[in-house]
Amino acid sequence: MVSALPLHNGSDPIPSDVQLRVAVVGAGYWGPNLARNFKAAPDWELVGIVDMDLERARKVAGPLGDIPVFASLDALLVGTGVDAVAIATPARTHHMVALTALRAGKHVLVEKPLAASGELGREMVGVAADAGLTLMADHTYCYTPAAIKIRELVAEGELGDILFIDSVRINLGLIQPDVDVFWDLAPHDLSVIDFILPGGLAPESVMAQGADPLGTGKSCVGHLTFELPNNGMAHINVNWLSPTKIRQMVIGGSKRTLVWDDLNPQQRLSVYDRGVNLDKASITAAERKAQAISYRLGDTWSPALPEQEALGLMVQEFAASIRQGRPSRTSGVAGLRVLNVLEAATRSLENGGDRSNVESSEVQLEGTR
Ligand SMILES: NC(=O)c1ccc[n+]([C@@H]2O[C@H](COP(=O)([O-])OP(=O)(O)OC[C@H]3O[C@@H](n4cnc5c(N)ncnc54)[C@H](O)[C@@H]3O)[C@@H](O)[C@H]2O)c1
């Protein structure tokens, strides 16, 4: 829910013609993408790149106009006035780096997953709420024109009731040192489901199965299933070991089915006016008549999508949520909903794939942004 909240320290909204000052922490694989988008955004002035490996920080900072570099967040905070900090360090460090920034009074953007556990994530959300600061998760896919269009179509009832969601995210991925394939890749699928379903991501329980055929010590292949409202079902397939890359989400509705193929720029979204009709009135308890079932074979169309970089919209939303004192579209609480599902998946894995309850996401923190 987006609602206007008092700004930090009760101050007035920050006018849109005043640039906000931001630093990026973490100049590895992903940080440079954040830095490039902050640099290009009219809302932002990029004032620092932080990495414990200064050489990496310099490599990112140089081409962007010799932005000052720092070996730690503390060094940045001492030497530079910033309004916000964007964190692209490994997941296990998100909590520590975010708390340092929040306690220094800075708004924070954190890469997915929000934290390495639900408990750590809840603390981050609580500290941000107490300070009246924005805590936002970079759930990048929620800012893609495709996800925004899907959310619109679902909200307008174009797909009908959602019967199933099947998401495949497989490729030859980097085996992460600190997280398994669920914590690395499934946040993308989970955050999109959270974004497109009117009720958000709210399963009561999940079941997860994983495999580690190379003996890396963590799941490299994973399947996660959970129920959707109206007896629907979601399935997420994540995999670091697949030589073929697939990024596809199928959203089956009672009226239409949508396929999002993110690797097909000519036709990312296809809407199929096809499906199964079931005349419930003609089904008796004793028998399920074949006549009660019919198939619709209609047209397929592809919604036009603007060409926009998701991270550009994401950094714009970060600025807007700070200026307007409201939760961002992918707030810390949205990040927590994703963490709760990941934690339940981990418990399920530990119990041989048994059903595992998801902690309630009803974290009602006053002033949460
Ligand atoms: N949104 C997306 O689509 C997306 C894509 C890839 C990665 N990510 C996320 O981005 C984050 C970073 O992933 P990556 O692949 O870039 O990792 P990486 O290992 O390539 O880079 C991390 C960098 O952080 C630095 N670092 C670590 N701890 C630090 C600290 N305390 N202070 C300063 N610097 C520190 C390291 O020196 C390194 O340069 C992860 O949370 C990952 O899940 C998001």
User: Which atom number of ligand 1 is nearest to the Cα of residue 53?
Assistant: 37
Q: How far is the CA of 173 from the centre of ligand 1 (A)?
A: 15
Q: How far is the CA of 138 from the centre of ligand 1 (A)?
A: 12
Q: If you average pLDDT over residues 298-313, what whole number do you get?
A: 94
Q: Which amino acid is at 256?
A: R
What sign for the dihedral angle of Cα 271, 272, 273, 276?
Answer: negative
Q: How far is the CA of 271 from the centre of ligand 1 (A)?
A: 36
Residue among 34, 85, 89 to mutate when testing ligand 1 (max atoms within 8 A of CB): 89
Question: Dihedrals φ, ψ of 291, to 5°?
Answer: -65, -20
Residue 76 included in any domain: yes
Whether pLDDT at 9 is above 50: no
In the block, residue with structure tokens 């119990």:
351
Nearest CA to ligand 1 atom 2: 140
Q: How far is the CA of 102 from the centre of ligand 1 (A)?
A: 19
Nearest CA to ligand 1 atom 19: 28
Q: Return the number of other C-beta atoms located less than 10 Å from residue 29's C-beta.
A: 9
pLDDT of residue 365: 55
Per-residue pLDDT tens over the stretch 221-256: 999 999 999 899 999 999 999 999 999 999 999 999
CATH of residue 63's domain is 3.40.50.720
Residue 362 included in any domain: no
Nearest CA to ligand 1 atom 5: 30
Q: How far is the CA of 10 from the centre of ligand 1 (A)?
A: 33
**Percent of the chain's residues with pLDDT above 70:** 91
Rg, C-alpha atoms of the chain: 22
**Dist. CA 244–CA 272, nearest whole Å:** 25
Ligand 1 — pocket residues by CB below 6 A? Answer: 25-31, 50-53, 56, 72-73, 88-91, 93, 97, 111-112, 138, 140
Q: Give the list of residues 6+ apart from residue 50 with CB closer than 8 angstroms, or none.
A: 23, 24, 25, 26, 27, 57, 69, 70, 71, 72, 73, 75, 76
Residue 259 included in any domain: yes
User: Which atom number of ligand 1 is nearest to the Cα of residue 30?
Assistant: 16
pLDDT of residue 289: 61
Q: How far is the CA of 70 from the centre of ligand 1 (A)?
A: 16
Identify whether residues 255 and 150 lie together within a single domain. Answer: yes
Residue 125 included in any domain: yes
In this structure, what DSSP letter does residue 295 have? E
Per-residue pLDDT tens over the stretch 203-224: 999 999 999 999 999 999 999 9
Residue among 70, 111, 262, 309 to mutate when testing ligand 1 (max atoms within 8 A of CB): 111
Identify whether residues 218 and 268 lie together within a single domain. Answer: yes
pLDDT of residue 321: 97
Q: If you average pLDDT over residues 165-191, what whole number do you get?
A: 94
**Dist. CA 284–CA 94, nearest whole Å:** 55
How are beta strands 269-278 and 293-301 bridged, if at all? antiparallel
Give the pTM.
0.93
Distance from the first to the final alpha carbon of the chain: 10
Per-residue pLDDT tens over the stretch 90-106: 999 999 999 999 999 99
Residue 1 included in any domain: no
Identify whether residues 118 and 150 lie together within a single domain. Answer: no
Full strand arrangement of the beta sheet holding 135-138: 69-70, 44-50, 20-25, 84-87, 107-111, 135-138
Identify whether residues 150 and 296 lie together within a single domain. Answer: yes
Domain count, the chain: 2
Task: Copy the structure tokens of residue 306.
Answer: 């603007």
CATH of residue 234's domain is 3.30.360.10
Q: Return the number of other C-beta atoms located less than 10 Å from residue 355's C-beta.
A: 16
Residue 292 included in any domain: yes
Residue numbers of the domain that contains 349: 8-140+311-357
